[in-house]
Amino acid sequence: MSMMSRSLAQADPEVGEIIGGELERQQTTLMLIPSENYASRAVMAAAGSVLTNKYAEGYPGRRYYNGCIYYDEIENLARDRARALFRADHANVQPHTGTSANMAAYYAMLDPGDRILAMKIEHGGHLSHGMKINFSGQTYEAHFYGLSEETDQIDYDNIRDIALQVRPKLIVAGASAYPRAIDFRQFAEIAGEVGALLMADIAHIVGLVAAGAHPDPVPVADVVTSTTHKTLRGPRSAFILCRADWARKIDRAVFPGVQAGPLMHIIAAKAVAFKEAQSLFFREYQRQIVRNAHALAASLQEESFRLVTGGTDNHHLMLVDLRDQDITGKLAADLLEQAGIVVNKNLIPGDERSPDETSGIRPGTPGLTTRGMQEPEMHEIAKMVARVIHEGRDSEKVLAEVRHQVLELCEAFPIYEHLP
Ligand code: DSN
């Protein structure tokens, strides 16, 4: 048998086994990380296709390599589907990741040293929204808005005041860990008032936006960036939407500005995900994510956990404040993992602990909802989370019992049954 025709298991059992182990981990644990999900078999087939083989620098009809006929077709399809799904003038589907999409958007809209105004990372912002240790904070003069000290929610009047003082060239609306809906219209009004451009980063909420379950930034923002692997449930990647007047600049910023060869197999997988997101089934899936988030939030509160902002609305995640529970976010997440429940530790507003320790965790419902779970399961999971956090530190028995319950729930709501 030639090297080219052997299966992964035959050609490289070592890698095959590691991937097999990861498949089993995904099948046998409850995944509550709101920025992760399970891609469909069709999305994974496109991502693992022969489209990985070719260079296609440039854009459809203007490639630097010959032989791109099918690459043009697939990129046009992905762009058309993204534009239709989000009712946008223009889509660029080449960015590799959320941060490279943001990098390209800044490159199109700003000059080095220009001022940007974005949410503080400690209050839910993102590394690529101007943090000093990131290219965005090194290249641009970043200023930040925080959340209201009373409500832990976005305070639009305060953002207006800061914007009037700072006079940013660009306002960034969007967050990685904010459990409330974002009012993009208010952001657009502020940007208009101070003469700033508006970029919305909807990496987390993109699926909700596509399904009409969250306010839509596309009509009001100059540029919208997003990932494709979170609530959108596509491959690990990203894209940019913009108004027609930004199309040329955005395209030039992505290529040749910050990227060279596009990942055409991943663009094919994005096309598949955009099609899946047009279905009625996907809209219902997004609405169930929100219903499940409400149910999980309410059940965690019944178990005596304080949620930052008091809950979640129109969203898929919540921030649990563990400061009154005598446990760090890190220890809580480690104990939960031992019981088969995977969450991420997270800073909360006003956190005095380091990002490695934190005082919070950030559970979310997109992955559980993909497995078909509904409100009764959210209630059950909140009870398991509470048991592990309250009793798991001192009891191997509790961890083992919850692990057993997790396995039963995973068996009742299987994932990737078709995979070997
Ligand atoms: N790492 C992502 C998240 O978990 O929110 C953001 O890039």
Find the mean pLDDT for residues 109-117. 98
Domain boundary among 247, 276, 305: 276
b/e burial code for range 131-144 (CB count within 10 A of at least 16 → b): beebbbbebbbbbb
Q: CA dist 77 to 68, 89, 268, 275, 330, Å?
A: 14, 15, 9, 10, 43
Is 100 part of any domain? yes
- Residue 349, ligand 1, Cβ within 6 A: no
pLDDT in tens, 358-403: 999 999 999 999 999 999 999 999 999 999 999 999 999 999 999 9
Is residue 228's pLDDT more than 70? yes
The DSSP 8-state label assigned to residue 5 in this structure reads G
- pLDDT on residue 315: 73
- pLDDT on residue 312: 79
The CATH number linked to 368 is: 3.90.1150.10
- pLDDT on residue 314: 60
For atom 6 of ligand 1, which residue has the closest CA?
176
Q: Place 288 in a pLDDT band, splitting at 50, 70 and 90.
A: very high
Is 4 part of any domain? no
Q: Which residue from 31, 35, 342, 345 has its CB within 8 A of the most atoms of ligand 1, so it is best to mutate?
A: 35
Instruction: Quickly list DSSP for 315-342.
Output: SSB--EE-GGGT--HHHHHHHHHHTTEE
Q: Write the CB contacts of 391 (distance below 8 Å, at least 6 apart in sequence).
A: 398
Q: Place 2 in a pLDDT band, splitting at 50, 70 and 90.
A: confident
Which ligand 1 atom is nearest residue 176's CA? 5
Domain boundary among 213, 248, 276: 276
| Torsion of the alpha carbons at 164, 165, 168 and 171, rounded to the nearest 10 | -60
Which ligand 1 atom is nearest residue 36's CA? 4
pTM of the predicted model over 0.75: yes
pLDDT in tens, 16-28: 999 999 999 999 9
Residues assigned a catalytic role = 55, 57, 201, 227, 230, 236
- Please check whether residues 272 and 288 belong to one and the same domain: no
Q: Structural domain of residue 215, as residue ranges?
A: 46-276
- Residue 176, ligand 1, Cβ within 6 A: yes
Is 418 part of any domain? no
**Considering only 18-27, 140-149, 314-323, 331-340, which range has the smallest mean pLDDT?**
314-323
- Residue 405, ligand 1, Cβ within 6 A: no
Share of the chain above pLDDT 70, in %: 100
Q: Place 265 in a pLDDT band, splitting at 50, 70 and 90.
A: very high
- Give the start-end residues of each E strand in 3-149: 30-31, 58-59, 62-63, 90-92, 115-119, 141-145
Q: What is the mean pLDDT of the chain?
A: 97
Instruction: Quickly list DSSP for 355-408.
Output: TTT-SEE--B-HHHHHTT--HHHHHHHHHHHHHHHHHGGG-HHHHHHHHHHHHH
Q: How many domains does the chain have?
A: 2
- Please check whether residues 110 and 178 belong to one and the same domain: yes
- pLDDT on residue 313: 73
Q: CA dist 354 to 346, 363, 387, 399, Å?
A: 10, 19, 25, 26
- pLDDT on residue 311: 81
Is residue 172's pLDDT more than 90? yes
Domain boundary among 232, 249, 276: 276
Distance CA 317, CA 272 (A): 25
Is 27 part of any domain? no
- Please check whether residues 263 and 314 belong to one and the same domain: no
For atom 4 of ligand 1, which residue has the closest CA?
35
For atom 3 of ligand 1, which residue has the closest CA?
35
- Please check whether residues 388 and 404 belong to one and the same domain: yes
For atom 5 of ligand 1, which residue has the closest CA?
176
- Please check whether residues 196 and 250 belong to one and the same domain: yes
- Residue 98, ligand 1, Cβ within 6 A: yes
